[in-house]
A = this chain, B = another copy of it.
Amino acid sequence: MTVTDRPAQAPTRRLNTSKAMVEAIAAEMEANPEVFYLGEDVGAYGGIFSSTTGLLDRFGPQRVLDTPISETGFIGLAIGAATEGMRPIVELMFADFMGVCLDQIYNHMAKIHFESGGNVKVPMVLTTAVGGGYSDGAQHSQCLWGTFAHLPGMKVVAPATPADAKGLMTAAIRDDSPVVYMFHKGVMGLPWMVKNPRSIDVVPAGEHVVEIGKARVAREGSDVTIVTISLSVHHALDVAEQLSNEGISAEVIDLRSLVPLDRDAICASVAKTGRLVVVDEDYLSFGMSAEVVASVTDRDPSLFKAPPVRVAVPDIPIPYARPLEYAALPRQDRIEEAVRKALR
């Protein structure tokens, strides 16, 4: 269900992703007193990556709470509040910090509903910033969605566009299951970071819900399928646009969520093109890229007219120095090379 509702406003209202995300949070907080937001530097600072700008002024410190540096403590607090029927949004500043609180996330947030035989719900959103590309080093540049997606019991979404940032956030807050909402720093449209022009785009005013679990065909094409998510969608579109000049028609699938994974959308596109490139800013092995490939082979490996190509961070920590980081990340150059390889 995608309710797109644009009443009075001009249909071309353009926002950056962070504003679109905050708009959804504010609307849900307005509508539902059980929604609150907590995390580090989400109050006066407005979120290090502008995930909460203006919320403190609007909703006050009872509903927008700065926490101590105690991720296990405050994520656990959110879980407990959710089991009592509140609808917390809790921010883990960087996904890279999951290691200090993963037990709360995967052994509690994600399992309580199951362990209780469905008697306890955990309606909460865990927001977290992901991604590299600005030399923040091995502990502040990871995507790690493969890790979250491997562990059952939580939905995992990662918007690429401002409109999806709003629509997926609305859906996440309203979802009765826990949702991990991963926003890439490079799609937020921050003034102080290099950004793809697509990180500022039209965002529906009013209520806007994007169903979690449905991929989006970001660009139609017929020669090759590029399956990806988050910032890499923008990179893939850059490459697709450029290759179209050579008559290569690339279809770009924006997964939007890894859990649920829209395997139908993947297979439908590969059935059409016969060629697959998976672009993943997370680590190569045991992650998203293999799962996308296996989604196809689970049904029919003969859909592949050529070996699928996986473009991801090779299995190394993310290096600091720019030439190394650029070589490690799935940027336009590597995506283009992969598409050409898939077409050989």
**Given contact pairs A105-B99, A115-B317, A138-B115, A288 touches B286 in the complex (Cβ within 8 A):** yes
A297 interface hit (Cβ, 8 Å): yes
CA distance A38 to B42 in the complex (A): 39
Considering the chains assembled together, what is the distance between the CA atoms of A111 and B294 in angstroms? 29
Q: Does A242 contact B (CB under 8 A)?
A: no
Query: Which chain B residues lie closer than 8 Å to A111 at the CB level?
Result: 138-139, 317
Task: Give the chain B neighbours of A282 by CB distance below 8 A.
Answer: 150
Given A99-B106, A150-B150, decide whether A286 and B286 contact each other with a Cβ distance below 8 A: yes
Does any Cβ of B come within 8 Å of A69's Cβ? Answer: no
A300 contacts across to B, CB distance below 8 A: 307
Bound together, the chains give a CA A302 to CA B100 distance in angstroms of: 43
Encoded as 1 (CB less than 8 Å from any B CB) or 0, chain A from 70 to 82 comes to 0010000000000
Contacts of A307 on B, CB cut-off 8 Å?
Answer: 297-301
- Could you say which of A47-55, A126-134, A171-179, A308-316 contacts chain B? A308-316
- A111 vs chain B, min Cβ distance (A): 5
Bound form: Cα–Cα A289–B146 in Å: 14
Say if the beta carbon of A11 comes within 8 Å of chain B.
no
Q: Give A92-112 as 1s and 0s: 1 = Cβ < 8 Å from B's Cβ atoms.
A: 000011111111111100110
A244 interface residue per 8 A CB criterion? no
In Å, the complex CA distance between A99 and B304 comes to 38
Top-6 shortest CB links A-B: A99-B103, A99-B102, A290-B294, A290-B290, A150-B286, A301-B304
Binding site for B on A (CB under 8 A): 72, 96-107, 110-111, 114-115, 137-139, 146-147, 149-153, 258-259, 261, 282-283, 285-291, 293-294, 297-302, 304, 306-308, 310, 315-317, 319-320
